[in-house]
Chain A
Amino acid sequence: MWAIRGRVVALSDDRSVAPSESAVFTGRVWIDDDGRVAAVTRSTRPGPARFDGCPVVDVGSSLVLPGLIDLHNHLAYDTLPLWTEPSQAVPFAHHDSWPRARTYAASTTWPAYAFITASPHELLAYVETKAIVGGTTSVQGSPPMNRPRDGWLVREIDDESFGTGDRNKVLASVLTAKPADLADRANRMRAGSLFVYHCAEGQPGSLVAREYTDAESAGCLQPRFVAVHATAVDAAGFARWADPGAVVWSPFSNLWLYGVTTDVPAARDAGLAVCLGADWAPSGSKNVLGELKAARLAADHAGWNLSDEDLVRMVTCVPGDVLARGWGRQTGRLQPGALADVLVLRAERGADPFASVVAATEEDVDLVVIDGVARYGTPALTAAAGAPDLTALTVGSRDMRLSLTHPDDGTTPWGWDDVVDRLEAVRADPQAEITAAQARAAAWAGSMSDEGAPLRLALDMPTGVGPVGGLPRDLGTIVVPPLESLMPDDAWLAQVVGRGFHEGVLDGLRAYY
C-alpha cells in the first residue's frame, strides 16, 4: 500500500472523488496491494484507515493522472523507422494499397520477422519500453503469441486476462474479416468480448467503406465494437451506429498514408467514444503521448472544436470506459476500484493541466505505475515508490529507471543494455539469428502452449507483395534498420518533414520537442 500526492487529474466519474470529471485538485491517490485504487482524496484529507503510515510519494506540482491508453498499435513493428514508398506520388487509396508497394515487405515485414523470430522477448521489452516512457500503461496491438501472458511491463490489451487465463476479453483483427467472421464477432461481443477491428481505413468513398457496412450488416455496431480508423466512414454512417461503441483515431498514420483522417466531429456527434491510437512505427507516433500532439495539430488544421481536455480524455477515461466493457474493470480514471495505472507528469505550478499533458514529452514523464507497481520513472521517484528490479536507461536527456525482469520468470532482473545488445546482435546478422532461432524452436518437443515453450510471435499487419512464403529466398538480404529511438529526436523529426502525405500538418511536431 502506498500513495502518490500531487495535482490530481482524476477524470473520475465518481462524485465522491470530485464534483466533475474535469476537476483538478491537489490530493492523494491511494494504491492498494491488489493493484487497484483504494481512494482518491483531496487536499490533506486522510486516506482509508488501513493506509495509516504507508509511504506517500510527493510529486509536488506534477500532475497525477490515469496512465495513458493506446488503443491502436502494432507492437511487433515498433522498432522500425517511418516508412514511405519512394515511387508513390499520391496518397494511398486504402489499407490494401500500401502493402503492394515495392519497398513495403523489405522495409516492414522482413525486419519485423527477424526480431519476432530471433529475439521475441527483447522485441517486446523494447517496444513496451517505448510505450511506457510516453506514459502508456495499456497498449493494444500485441503480436499474436503462442503463450500469451498478462501484463508484464505494460498491459497488452489483447492478452490481458487479469490472471484468469481468459484471452477472449478483447478480440482484435487487423485484416479485413469476412461477413461470416464478423457475424461471429458480433455474437462474441454480445457475450461480453470487446472487438477491436481495423475498419474502413482509407480514403472516403474508397472501396474499404464497405468494411463498415459489412460490419453493420453482421451486427457489429454495438457498444463493444471498436472501429480502428474508420476514415472512409461519413457522418451518415456514424449516425447509423445507434448503440454507439468506439472509434480509434490515429491522425499521424492517417495523414502519413492517406492525407486525410477520421471525421472526429461526426463520430463524436454520433455519440461514439473517440479514442487515440499511436498506430505502428512505420507510419505512426512513437507512443500515444506523441499522438496527442499529432491530434492537436490535425484538429487545429481541420478547424475542429476539440479542447486539450477532449484530447486527454481520448487517451484516458474514454478508452478506459471502452475497455471496461470488455475487461469488467475500470481504467483510465483515478477513482476507487479502478486499476491503479497512474502517470506522473512534470508540470509547472499553475499551468493548465490538460494543455500540459498535450504538450508534455517523454522528458516530462516522471513516474509510471501499472497495476499499483512503479515501473518506470526518475531515479528518485522510482526509489521512493519502491519500484523493484530497476535498470538504468537514458531517455532523451535524462537518466531514468525501468523495472525490468526476465519474462520467463517475471522475477529475475534484466538489464536494459542486455535487451539492446541482443536486438543489435540480431540486426548484425539476421540470417544467422533467424536460422538459430528456428533450430531452437524445432528442438522443442512439447506443446507450444506450455510454459517452457519457446516464445513465438506472429506478425499482425499485411505481409506485402513477395514470394509465396513471404520472405526472400536468401535471408541474408534482410536488412534490419537501426532501432528507433525511444522518443522523438532530431533524426526522427527530420524524417517527418517533407515525407508522407500530411502536407506539412505534422511539421509542427518539432515545436513540442
Chain B
Amino acid sequence: MTTTDPRDARVRRLLAEAVTATTLADVPAAAHLDGGERLQVVDTFVTVLGGLYSHLPAKRAAYASDPVQGLTLLRRRAVDLTDAEFHLALTGILTGLRDAHTRYVGPVAARGQVATLPFLIEAHGPDHEPHFLVTKVGPGATTDRSFAPGVEVLAWNGVPIARAVEVHADRETGGRPDARRSRALESLTFRALDYGPPPDEHWVVVEYRTRRGATRETRFDWTVVAPGRAETAVSRATRAALKVAVDPAADAVRRAKKLTFVPELWATEDEAEPAAPPPPPLPRASTTRAGVARAGGAAPSGRLPTGNAGGVGTDWIPTPLQDVLAARALDADHGLLRLWSFDVGDDAAYLDEMTRLLGLLPAGGVVVDLRGNPGGLVWAAERALQLFTDHPVVPTRFSLVATPLTRLMAASPFNRLELEAWNGSLQDAVSTGEQYAQPLPLTDPAWCNDRGRVYPGPAVAVVDPNTYSSGDLFAAGWVDNDVGPLVAVGQATGGGGANVWTLSQVRDALAGTERALPPMPAGTSLTVAVRRTIRSGRGDGIPVEDLGIAGVPYDMTRDDLLRDNVDLQAFCLGLLRAG
C-alpha cells in the first residue's frame, strides 16, 4: 500500500472512520429512560411476546419459564431500577428464550456498533474436551509478538477458558448447549452492541501457551467499530425485508470480523470491480502455510478461507458479491463454494453469481460451506438449493402462532398481501384449537425450481452451530430434498427456525388495528420471530427452532483451524468420492 495511491488513502480513511471508540470508556452513555418510558417498553414487549412470538409455546415448554410473566413482574419494579439494571433485566428475559431472532434492542447512543477484540478464538476437538486456539489476529493488534495464530488460550481474565466459555454461554442465545457455547466463543471477542449490553470488563487478559510451550499473558482493550452493511444487503425498507430469517447480532459480528481481519476487503466491497488481492492480513507464518488470496482476491468474511495444503486451487475467484459469496477450486476435480451469508436484497443476482461461480469450479464435486452463515433473505437460501439437484425442491413452511393478536393482524386490510394466506386458518383456530396457523411457504415452490440444476457434480454441505436461520433453512432443504450429504461441525445447525421481523415491521402490521403499538422511547426496539419454520419433504412437520439440522458429525481439528480446514475438506471430499 503506497501513501500516494488515492484508493489506498480512501481505504485507510474508511477504516479509521469505522472505529468509533478505542476503549469502552469512550462509548457514549445510552439515553436515560424514565419510569413511564420503561413501562412503554415493557408493555410493548408484553404485547409482542404474548401475542405474536411464534415460539412462545415451545419456549415455555423447553425452558420452564414464562417471558410474559417475567415482563409482568419486571413492570412492577421497573421504576425502581437503575437504567443498567432495567436493561439487563430486559435483556435477560429475552436472552432466556435462547432465540437469536428475538432480541432486545436497547437505547444505545449510536446504532450498528460492535465491540471487538482484535483476535479470534476457535475451538477444536470433541465437545467434552475442547481446545481453544487463537486463529486470527488483526493487523497491529498487539506488540506481543508471540501472540499469533496457533497459540492455545488457557485462561480468560484468570478464569480457565473452558469455564469462561461455559459461564458466558449462560448469557447467550442458542437452544442447545453446544449452540450456546459456540455463540459464547464467538462473542468472547465480538459483541453487537445493539443486541446486548457492552462487555462488563473494559479489557481482557488472555493467558496463552506459546508455540514453544511457554505460558504468557497479554492484555487487550475493547475497541468499538461500526462495520455497516454491504450495499448488496437486503434493505430494511423493502418487501423482501419481511422475508428475512437472520440472526441480526451474528450478522453484525460477521461484518465486524471482516473489518477486523480483512480490512482492505471490507473497505472496497462497494467498488464496482471485485477487489484486487489485498495484502495478506495474517502474520507471515500463517499466510505462508495457507496461501491466502494469492491471485484472485481475499476471502470475503471474517473467517479466513485459505487454500488447501496441496497448493491446488488457492485462488479465490473474484466476485462482486464478495460480502456473501466466495468460490475456488480445491483440486483439479473439486471446488469450494463459501456461502458467508444470505443477506442480500436481490436473490436473483445472488443466484446469478452463484451460478457463475459454480460454472468456474471443477465439476467433480463441490463443498458448500455455510458455517457461520447467520442467515438473511429466505428466498435466496431456498432458491439456491435447486442449483445442486435434479430433484424438485420443496421449500420449508412458516406459520404464525394462533392468538387474538395474530388474528387481528392477519385480518387487517393493510396486511392482506402479506398475511391473507394465513388468515383463514388463524380464524379457524378459534374452533379447532390449533396452536398454529396452517404452515405455508414464504418462497413459492415454483421459484425454488425455476432455474434448475447448475452444478453437475455431487455436492456436500457443511454447517456448524453458527449456521443460523436462513442458514438453517438451507440445511433443512439440503437434507429434506436429498440434495447431498450434510456435514455438521458440532451437533447441528444453530436452530433458528423463524422469519424475523423488527419492531417497526410489527408496528406497521398492527397499524390501523385496535392494538396499534405506540412509538418506542429512545430508539428502543426488538426483533421477534413472527413466523415459525416447519420442515418439508423428508423432515415434514418438524420444527427447526432449537433442534437445528443434524448431519454427519465432524469435530474440527487443530489442523483445520491452522491449515485452512484441511482435514474437514478431506473429510468432505471423501464423502463426495464415496458418492
Contacts and interface: CB of A to CB of B under 8 A. Distances in A.
B444 interface: yes
Nearest to B442: A468
Interface stretch (A126-134, A299-307, A353-361, A470-478): A470-478
A470 B416 contact: yes
B508 A448 contact: yes
B414 interface: yes
Interface in A52-92: none
Interface residues of B, number: 33
B238 A438 contact: yes
Interface in A160-180: 178
Contacts of A144: 413-414, 512
A430 B504 CA distance: 24
Question: In this complex, which of A443, A458, A460 has the most chain B Cβ atoms within 10 angstroms of its Cβ?
Answer: A458
Contacts of A445: 504, 519
Interface string B510-534: 0110001011000000000000000
A449 B504 CA distance: 14
A471 B417 contact: yes
A31 B243 CA distance: 55
A101 interface: no
Contact residues of B: prevailing secondary structure: helix
B379 interface: yes
Interface in B426-478: 427, 440-442, 444, 446-447
Given A144-B414, A467-B444, A474 B427 contact: no
A146 B235 contact: no
B404 to A, nearest CB: 14
B444 A446 contact: no
A435 B413 CA distance: 20
Contacts of A475: 239
Contact of A146 (B417, B418, B511): B511
A164 to B, nearest CB: 19
B61 interface: no
Contact of A447 (B243, B418, B504, B516): B516
A446 B239 contact: no
Nearest to A443: B237
A164 B447 CA distance: 49
A176 B242 CA distance: 27
Interface in A451-475: 456, 458-460, 463, 467-471, 473-475
B413 A458 contact: yes
Contact of B440 (A438, A468, A470, A471): A468
Contacts of A441: 237, 508
A449 B242 CA distance: 22
Contacts of A447: 511, 516, 518-519
A474 B348 contact: yes
B30 interface: no
A439 B235 contact: yes
A113 interface: yes
Nearest to A109: B417
B37 interface: no
B353 interface: no
Contacts of A178: 427
Contacts of A109: 417
Contacts of A474: 348
Interface residues of A, number: 30
Contact of B512 (A434, A435, A449): A449
Contacts of B243: 469
A442 interface: yes
B238 A435 contact: yes
Nearest to A450: B519
Nearest to B441: A468
B77 interface: no
Contacts of B446: 467
Contact of A442 (B413, B504, B518): B504
A471 B240 CA distance: 11
B84 interface: no
B236 interface: yes
B446 to A, nearest CB: 8
B211 to A, nearest CB: 51
A15 to B, nearest CB: 44
B511 A448 contact: yes
Nearest to B398: A468
B217 interface: no
Interface in B402-417: 412-414, 416-417
Interface in B223-261: 235-239, 242-243
Nearest to A147: B512
B390 to A, nearest CB: 22
A459 B417 CA distance: 9
B231 to A, nearest CB: 14
A375 B216 CA distance: 86
A442 B237 contact: yes
Given A447-B516, A448-B511, A474-B348, A146 B414 contact: yes
The 4 A-B residue pairs whose C-beta atoms are closest, nearest first, are A470-B417, A442-B237, A448-B511, A467-B444
Given A441-B237, A449-B516, A473-B379, 19 more contacts: A144-B413, A146-B414, A434-B239, A435-B238, A438-B239, A441-B508, A447-B511, A447-B519, A448-B512, A448-B516, A458-B412, A458-B413, A458-B416, A467-B447, A468-B421, A469-B442, A470-B416, A471-B239, A474-B348
10 contacts: A435-B235, A442-B504, A447-B511, A460-B413, A463-B420, A468-B441, A469-B417, A469-B421, A470-B417, A471-B417
Interface of B: 235-239, 242-243, 347-348, 379, 412-414, 416-418, 420-421, 427, 440-442, 444, 446-447, 504, 507-508, 511-512, 516, 518-519
